[in-house]
Structure 1
Amino acid sequence: MTENSRGHLTFGQGTAMYVGAVLGTGVIALPALAAEAAGPASLLAWLALVVMSVPLAATFAALGARYPDAGGVSTYARLAFGDRAAAMVGWCFYFAIPPGAPAAALFGGAYVAAAVGGGTATTFITAAALIAVVTAANLAGLRVSGRLQLVLAALLVTLLLASVALSLPDARWDNLTPFAPHGWAAIGSAAALLVWSFAGWEAITHLAAEFRRPERDLPRATAAAVCVVGVLYLLVAFAIITVLGSAAATEDAPLGELMARGLGGGARWPAAAAAVLLTMGTMNAYYAGAAKLGAALGRDGALPSWLARGSVAGQVPRRSLTVASAMSFLALAVVAVIGLGPEPLVLLTTGSFVTVYAIGVASAIRLLPRRSLARASAFAALSAVAALLLMTGRYLIWPAAMTAAALIYLHLKGRASPPSPPAPEIIEKRLTPS
């Protein structure tokens, strides 16, 4: 990698990107939904998913450090299984952003509407504003969006920790009994609801080449993010159940109510602030990753070559970002016109990301050195991904449609020559003895 193409993301900014991608909008509402499904035993579902995240995150970190490229999982699939697999997984991720971004923005908008009033109109106006702000930050480049993410992550972690710490004096151990009111099998139902909260470990692989030292900083950022996300999720879930008790299962804004207990006053304003921070952090990380991926897909022939500009480390993929943002605005407009809530968008997006996980882990098993800790992590992650696929069920229809669309595109394009190979540094990494 030349000096001119060296990325700009630091260890701290990369950690913040990861925290934003994974510690997403799920923390706003999902603790209540999980508590409703399994009671206090939902804490075990949170713990199980935190544990499952470790090998999954380690696998993608190892791939990103070894093959730093804007294509991310698409590049790994190409190296492991060929062009068709690369196009399929690339389309699944890139076209998960149009439904996923409006869903996240609507979650944040709902909290703002609860604080200032205005109902549905405020929700959609806020959602559109969030998409616009995140798009503008990424159009300015990763120097700006990386710094923004660092600020957002710091504010978010401080706010969550303060809310938990100040509310814990109101915790009651009696609220943990009965521990499993709906039976132990309900823990699985709670875990299925929480899958949305743990998507994101694959997103930063598209930014691997944007790190100043990806081989060193990407694994470190991943490890730090796993610790931060795991601790925060468990603390928030524990506080909501022990402080709110049975009301946690019926509270529409459990995080807001927790903040009200800890910080005093009404729940609406601190909850709205947290929701906006969470939403912007998640969207910022995903837009950055998706924009780079779209450029890489254009470079490699899986999308129109017009999108290819910006695939090199240090460049801003403005064309790809503009397309992703325009599709997000279109999806938001469709939802507004037909009156759908964010739930269908969430489920379609989750199906796409689980598919990306599956292909990414399979690629890792094929690519990573034998008898290495990274490859062992990939095998451990395989069982976690299999469980996620079973939980996703019929909502795999969206990635199935994107897979078919990718194959049709490649067929109609009728390329006479193979696509351009991955960036030179990827080949160098690939040939370097482990």
Structure 2
Amino acid sequence: MSTSTSSSAQHHGPSHGRLTVLQGAALYVGAVLGTGVIALPALAAKIAGPASLLAWLALVILSAPLAATFAALGARYPDAGGVATYARKAYGARASAIVGWCFYFAVPAGAPAGAMFAGAYVAAALGGGEQTVFLTSAALLVIVTAANSLGVTVSGRMQVVLSTLLVALLLTAVAASAPHANANNLRPFAPNGWFAVVPAAALLVWSFAGWEAITHLAGEFRRPARDLPLASAIAVVVVGALYLAVALASVLVLGPSAGDATAPLAELLVIGVGGNIRVLAAAAALLLTLGTMNAYFAGAAKLGAALGRDGALPAWLAAGTLAGDVPRRSLAVVSGLSALCMCAIAFAGVGPKPLVLMTTGSFVTVYALGCAAALRLLPRGTAAYRCAQCALVCVVALCLATGWFLLWPLVMSGCALLYLRLDRRRSNRAAVQCDMS
């Protein structure tokens, strides 16, 4: 690779950053607790009725080994490359490039989709139609870009505030609506049969994506070996408890109408404390989306710099890989591509669905290669290794459920391998010319 020498020097010499356990846990919560909490409790209840609670519980339990796997890898190899670094150490440069490209180019597709989702809630509350949707999306993009351009410490502090507000909002919705809960709403528990829990669980899988995003910031923690697993564990407990609480409240309070609620979280708030349901739904959507975008932009920016350092992307992006450095060039690429995707969707008029499908397929690929790498890198017989085994089984099942959506990461994989080949040829020509001179 054209940057192999500098890469080797930087792998072993980075100092650790200033990210605290609280900030790391907040970034995790923001990455995982996405906008799905607004609508998915209703969609799952529509499929399986109260039995959808079993799907939520199963996914909370299964997300723990996935989170533990990536936290163990991040603690052992605190590098800005994140999962791409683990793939390189386990399987070489090609696997690293594939993982890196799949994640890096998924974020500019996923971020506009999430931003437009929030924008739709704002438009429903304030009016203005598509103009409001795109103005809201653009504002969210500008905010997260500005926060991350100031460094991960600033974006981490912002994430603590966002996550605190979000947790307070969810707890308020659950606690305020609790007096209206009715145990009779649990009957019949499985109106559509027990097998309906399976498609409900497949739908809810996307609510638990994000455990890999913070691995790119592992080197930014003060003590990665201790702080990253601790932040991950805190996030698993917080996210799991909040998801289960909102899902349970939706079933017990809203009853048979839970499956028809477009924004069950907002309806719980209206029942508990009153107010305008559309305004409350818009506020929740903005908080959730801003937190998710902030966490993913921080991780993707660091990853792009690491890929530039390792030769999987142009070396121009390499600035900002060391702990404490701000990868502004990589961040500019992520932000610029996100804006282009948003403009393309606006002109095409097809909505955010294509971006969502591209993103989910890419992340599933990253999970699969990351878990496979963990089985090579983590010590056999340890708790982390057993978590990796369990996580890989779950991810393989997820790959099967993803189906045709895996075509996009296959395209990205081909592009990554083609770039490596062209870069190698360019390096060889440069070496020959240097020898001739």
**TM tier relative to shorter chain:** over 0.9
Superposition deviation, residue 237 in structure 1: 0.7
Q: Please say if residues 25 and 104 of structure 1, whose CA atoms lie closer than 8 Å, have aligned partners that are also in contact.
A: yes
**CA contact 2:67–2:212 (8 Å) conserved in 1:** yes
Does the alignment pair 1:188 with 2:228? no
Which consecutive segments of 4 or more residues in structure 1 shift more than 3 A? 1-5, 415-418
Residue 333 of structure 1 is aligned with which of 343, 347, 370? 343
| Structural mapping, 1:60-79, within 5 Å | 60-79=70-89
Q: TM-score, normalised by structure 1?
A: 0.94
Cα contact 1:70–1:205 (8 A) shared by 2? yes
Give the aligned partner of residue 350 of structure 1. 360
In the aligned structure 1, how far is the partner of 2:181 from the partner of 2:347? 43
**AA in 2 matched with 1:356:** V
Secondary structure of the residue that 2:240 maps to in structure 1? helix
- Counterpart among 151, 155, 166 of residue 141 in structure 1: 151
Q: Which of 103, 112, 118 pairs up with 1:102?
A: 112
Matches within 5 A, 1:144-163: 144-163=154-173
Separation (CA, whole Å) in 2 of partners of 1:64 and 1:6? 13
Corresponding position: 1:10 with 2:20: yes
Contact conserved, 1:43 with 1:234, CA < 8 A, in 2? yes
Determine helix, strand or coil for the equivalent of 1:239.
helix
> How far apart in 1 are the matches of 2:13 and 2:366?
31
Q: Specify which of 252, 271, 296 is matched with residue 242 of structure 1.
A: 252
Structure 1 residue 366: Cα displacement: 0.2
**For residues 333-378 of structure 1, what are the alpha-carbon distances to aligned partners after superposition, in whole Å with 9 as ceiling and x for unaligned?**
1111111222222222111111100000000000011111111110
AA of the residue aligned to 1:322: A
Equivalent pairs counted in the alignment come to 418
User: Structure 1 pair 381/311, CA: closer, same or farther in 2 (3 Å)?
Assistant: same
Q: Distance in 1 between matches of 2:356 and 2:54?
A: 23
Indicate the percent of aligned positions where both proteins have the same amino acid.
67
1:232 is matched with: 242
Partner Cα separation in structure 2 for residue 417 and residue 65 of structure 1: 33
2:14·2:322 contact (CA, 8 Å) conserved in 1? no
For each residue in 1:379-419, what CA deviation from the matched residue of structure 2 results, as whole angstroms up to 9, or x when unmatched?
1111111111111111111111111110111112225779x
2:134 paired residue number? 124
Larger radius of gyration: 2
Structure 1 unaligned regions, length at least 5: 419-434
Work out the CA distance in 2 between the residues paired with 1:125 and 1:8: 34
Taking the aligned partners of 1:280 and 1:315, their CA distance within structure 2 comes to: 23
Q: Deviations over 1:193-214 (max 9, x none)?
A: 1121110000000000000110
Match of 1:43 among 35, 50, 53: 53
Taking the aligned partners of 2:426 and 2:380, their CA distance within structure 1 comes to 36
More deviation in 302-311 or 4-13?
A: 4-13
Determine helix, strand or coil for the equivalent of 2:301. Answer: helix
Task: Report if aligned partners of 1:7, 1:211 keep a CA contact under 8 Å in 2.
Answer: yes
Between 239-248 and 74-83, the greater mean CA deviation after superposition: 239-248
2:334 corresponds in structure 1 to 324
Q: TM-score scaled by structure 2?
A: 0.93
Residues 90-147 of structure 1: CA distance to partner in whole angstroms, max 9, x if unpaired?
0000010111001111111111112211122111110111011001100111121010
Deviations 1:61-100 (A, max 9, x none): 0000000000000000000000000000000000101110
Q: How far apart in 2 are the matches of 1:181 and 1:232?
A: 25
Q: Give, in whole Å, the separation in 1 of the partners of 2:14 and 2:355.
A: 39
Q: Give SS of 1:315's match.
A: coil
Residue-by-residue CA offset, 1:144-182 (whole Å, 9 max, x unaligned)? 101000000011001110111000111112222221122
Which digits, 9 at most, give the CA deviation of each residue in 1:198-239, with x for residues without a partner? 100000000000001101100100000000000000000111
User: 2:276 corresponds to which letter in structure 1?
Assistant: G
Residue segments in structure 2 that go unaligned for 5+ positions in a row: 1-10, 429-437
Aligned positions of 1:245-284 closer than 5 A: 245-284=255-294
Partner residue of 1:313 out of 317, 320, 323: 323
Partner of 1:426: none
Name the aligned partner's letter for residue 270 of structure 1: L
Aligned runs of 1:13-24 on 2, under 5 Å? 13-24=23-34
How far off is 1:2 after superposition? Answer: 10
